[in-house]
C-alpha cells in the first residue's frame, strides 16, 4: 500500500469530504442490503473520533439527471440508525446552498450529499464540477474501492484539489489484493469461474505467471475444454476466446486445472434432470452447468494445501439449484484451508453470501469491476490520484 491513508492526516476540526460507495439496492424506499453502508462505518467512526466533520458523497444507480427514485435520502436514514446519531441530508451535492450548509454544520456532524450522478458532469469527470465538490471539504478521503476503477469527478477529479488519502476500507482492499499480487504466501492458488472467458482474459494473463495453481470452472471452463478438442454440447462457448484458451493451455502446463467431470442438464432451469459425465463426454443435447463431484474433490485437495487463495467467478450456475453444489464444495474447502482467502466482489460475493460462507472468508471485496481490474494489474484511477505515502 503506497498511498497515504486517513491515519496520515490531521482531521481534527476539519471538514472531511469522503467518497463512499453507498450504491445499495433500494426498492420502494427500502434498502434490501446495507452491507456497503456497514462497510463504510469504520472510516466514518474513525474520523468522528478524531473530531472531524464528515461530509459523505456517493452515486446510486444510473439516473438520467435528477430523479427522486435514485435519491440517497433513504441511505441517510439507515446510516443514522447504524451510527446512532443524526445524519444531515443535503438535497444537492454542489452549489452555494450546500456550501453554506456544510459551513453551518455543528462541529463533528455527519452529512450526506445527494447522488453525485444527478449531474452528467460526474461521470464526465468535469473539472468545474470536481472543483465545486472540492469546495465542500478541506481534506478528501476515498473509501469507495468499488468505484475506484472509474475516473469520475467524485472518485478522481476532486482528488486534485484537496489533500487526498485512502479510507480504511480502501486501505483494507488494497492491502489484501495487493499482497496477493505482489508477495503472496505460497502456495498461491487462483480460482476463476463465471460466464465468459473474455471478461477474465486480463486476469488470467496477469495471474498465471504469479500463481502456483490456477483452477478454472464455471461457464468459462467449456471454452478451455473445447480448446482441448472436446465436444461441449450446448454448454457456454466463448468462441472469440478459443485461441486465447489454446495459448494459455500451452503456456500453463500442469499449473492449470480444468474440470474432469461436469454436471449437465438439457436446460438451465431449477431442478432440471441432471447427469454427471466425464468432461470429455458431454452429450450433444446437454449443457454443462456445474463442475462435477470429482472435480470439486480435486479442486478441494489443491485448495487445502494453499496459503493464499484468490477467487473470482462462481464454478457453476449457482443461482439455480442444484448447480450450486460445486461452488459450495470448493467454498467449504477454502473455509477449512486456513489460507488467506480473497473473494472478488459481484457474483462471487453473492455466492458466498447465499451459500452461508461469507463469515468464513478472510476478505470479500466490495468491488466487482474494480477487483477484476486490480487483478488484471491495472492502476485504478481513484487510487492513483491519492497522495503517495
User: How far apart are alpha carbons 27 and 356 in whole angstroms?
Assistant: 24
Supply the minimum distance, in Å, between the C-beta of residue 13 and ligand AMP.
45
User: In whole angstroms, how far apart are CA 77 and each of 74, 85, 241?
Assistant: 5, 10, 46
The verdict on 163 binding ligand AMP (CB under 6 A) reads no
Residue among 168, 169, 289, 334 that touches ligand AMP (CB under 6 A): 289
We find the least distance from the C-beta atom of residue 95 to ligand AMP, in angstroms, to be 38
Q: Which of 14, 36, 150, 213 is catalytic?
A: 36
Cell of 187: 502456495
CA nearest to 106, candidates 222, 4, 185, 13:
13
Contacts by 224-230, CB closer than 8 A, 24 or more apart: 224/197, 224/248, 224/249, 224/256, 224/258, 225/258, 225/259, 225/279, 225/282, 228/258, 230/279, 230/280, 230/282
Active site (annotated) includes residue 326: no
The binding track of 328-347 with respect to ligand AMP, each residue x by CB under 6 A or -, is: -------------------x
Near ligand AMP in 352-381, by CB under 6 A: none
Q: Is 196 a catalytic residue?
A: yes
Q: Pick the catalytic residue: 196, 210, 255, 307?
A: 196
Q: Which is nearer to ligand AMP, 138 or 319 (CB)?
A: 319
Q: How far is the CB of 59 from ligand AMP (least distance, A)?
A: 21
Phi and psi dihedrals of 363, rounded to 5? -150, 120
- Cα-flanking dihedrals φ and ψ of residue 165, to 5°? -135, 165
Q: Does 236 bind ligand AMP (CB under 6 A)?
A: yes
Question: Considering the rule CB under 6 A, would residue 76 count as an interface residue with ligand AMP?
Answer: no
**Is 368 part of the annotated catalytic residue set?**
no
CB 264 within 8 A of CB 283: yes
Kindly write out the interface string for residues 83-122 of this chain, putting x where it contacts ligand AMP by CB under 6 A and - elsewhere.
----------------------------------------
Assess 313 for contact with ligand AMP (CB under 6 A).
yes
All three cell numbers of 357, joined, read 460462507
Burial of 250 (0-12, 13-18, 19+ CB in 10 A): exposed
Q: Is 288 an interacting residue with respect to ligand AMP (CB under 6 A)?
A: yes
- 198 forms part of the interface with ligand AMP (CB under 6 A): no
CA dist 125 → 62, 65, 133 (Å): 15, 15, 11
Which residues face 364 on adjacent strands? 343
Q: Binding ligand AMP by CB under 6 A: which of 314, 322, 345, 382?
A: 314
Burial class of residue 196, CB neighbours in 10 A (0-12, 13-18, 19+): middle
| Residue of 316, 346, 367, 382 with catalytic role | 346
**Torsion over CA: 119, 125, 130, 131 (sign):** negative
79-87, 272-280, 315-323, 377-385 -> range binding ligand AMP (CB under 6 A): 315-323
Number of residues interacting with ligand AMP: please give it, by CB under 6 A.
Answer: 17
317 lies in the binding site for ligand AMP (CB under 6 A) = yes
Q: Kindly list the distances between the CA atom of residue 168 and the CA atoms of 1, 20, 39, 375, 380, in Å, as whole numbers in the listed order.
A: 12, 11, 9, 20, 17
In the three-class reduction of DSSP (H, G, I as helix; E, B as strand; rest coil), residue 324 is classed as: coil
Smallest separation (angstroms) from ligand AMP to the CB of 221: 7
Q: Which is nearer to ligand AMP, 146 or 314 (CB)?
A: 314
Is 346 known to be catalytic?
yes
Judged by CB under 6 A, the residue of 199, 212, 294, 376 near ligand AMP is: 199
Residues 201-220 that bind ligand AMP (CB under 6 A): 218-219
Residue nearest to ligand AMP (CB): 194
Can you tell me which of 41, 82, 195, 201 binds ligand AMP, judged by CB under 6 A? 195
Among the residues of the chain, which ranges form H helices?
Answer: 35-49, 73-83, 96-103, 120-123, 127-134, 168-182, 201-207, 221-227, 242-252, 293-305, 325-337, 347-354, 369-375, 381-384
The nearest distance, CB 44 to ligand AMP, in angstroms, is: 30
262: which strand partners? 277, 291
Other CB atoms within 10 Å distance of the CB of residue 186: 12
Residue 238 lies near ligand AMP (rule: CB under 6 A): no
Stretch that binds ligand AMP, among 85-93, 146-154, 202-210, 312-320 (CB under 6 A): 312-320
- Positions touching ligand AMP (CB under 6 A) are 193-196, 199, 218-219, 236, 288-289, 313-314, 316-319, 347
List residues with catalytic annotation: 36, 196, 346, 369
Amino acid at each position: 500500500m503506497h498511498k497515504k491513508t486517513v491515519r496520515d492526516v490531521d482531521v481534527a476540526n476539519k471538514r472531511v469530504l469522503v467518497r463512499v460507495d453507498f450504491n445499495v439496492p433500494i426498492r420502494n424506499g427500502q434498502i434490501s442490503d446495507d452491507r456497503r453502508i456497514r462497510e463504510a462505518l469504520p472510516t466514518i467512526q474513525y474520523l468522528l473520533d478524531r473530531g472531524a466533520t464528515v461530509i459523505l458523497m456517493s452515486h446510486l444507480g444510473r439516473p438520467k439527471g435528477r430523479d427522486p427514485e435514485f435519491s440517497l435520502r433513504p441511505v441517510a436514514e439507515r446510516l443514522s440508525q447504524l451510527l446512532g446519531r443524526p445524519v444531515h441530508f443535503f438535497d444537492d451535492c454542489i452549489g452555494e446552498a450546500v456550501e453554506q450548509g456544510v459551513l453551518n454544520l455543528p462541529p463533528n456532524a455527519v452529512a450526506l450529499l445527494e447522488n453525485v450522478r444527478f449531474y452528467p458532469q460526474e461521470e464526465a469527470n468535469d473539472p468545474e464540477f470536481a472543483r465545486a465538490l472540492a469546495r465542500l471539504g478541506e481534506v478528501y478521503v476515498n473509501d469507495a474501492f468499488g468505484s475506484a476503477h472509474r475516473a469520475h469527478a467524485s472518485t478522481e477529479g476532486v482528488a486534485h484539489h484537496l489533500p487526498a488519502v485512502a479510507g480504511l476500507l480502501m486501505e483494507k482492499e488494497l492491502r489484501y489484493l495487493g499482497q496477493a499480487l505482489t508477495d503472496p504466501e505460497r502456495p498461491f492458488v487462483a480460482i476463476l469461474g463465471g460466464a465468459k472467458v473474455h471478461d477474465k482474459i486480463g486476469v488470467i494473463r496477469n495471474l498465471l505467471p504469479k500463481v502456483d495453481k490456477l483452477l478454472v470452472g464455471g461457464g468459462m471452463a467449456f471454452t478451455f475444454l473445447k480448446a482441448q478438442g472436446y465436444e461441449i454440447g450446448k454448454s457456454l462457448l466463448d468462441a472469440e476466446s478459443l485461441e486465447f484458451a489454446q495459448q494459455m493451455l500451452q503456456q500453463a502446463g500442469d499449473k492449470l486445472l480444468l474440470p474432469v467431470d461436469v454436471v449437465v442438464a438439457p436446460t438451465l432451469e431449477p431442478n432440471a434432470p441432471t447427469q454427471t459425465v466425464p468432461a470429455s463426454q458431454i452429450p450433444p443435447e446437454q449443457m454443462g452447468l456445474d463442475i462435477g463431484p470429482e472435480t470439486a474433490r480435486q479442486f478441494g485437495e489443491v485448495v487445502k494445501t494453499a496459503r493464499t487463495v484468490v477467487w473470482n467467478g462462481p464454478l457453476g450456475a449457482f443461482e439455480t439449484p442444484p448447480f450450486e453444489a460445486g461452488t459450495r464444495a470448493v467454498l467449504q474447502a477454502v473455509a477449512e484451508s486456513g489460507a488467506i482467502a480473497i473473494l472478488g466482489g459481484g457474483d462471487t460475493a453473492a455466492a458466498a453470501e447465499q451459500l452461508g460462507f461469507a463469515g468464513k472468508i478472510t476478505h470479500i471485496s466490495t468491488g466487482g469491476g474494480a477487483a477484476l481490474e486490480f487483478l488484471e494489474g491495472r492502476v485504478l484511477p481513484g487510487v492513483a490520484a491519492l497522495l503517495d505515502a
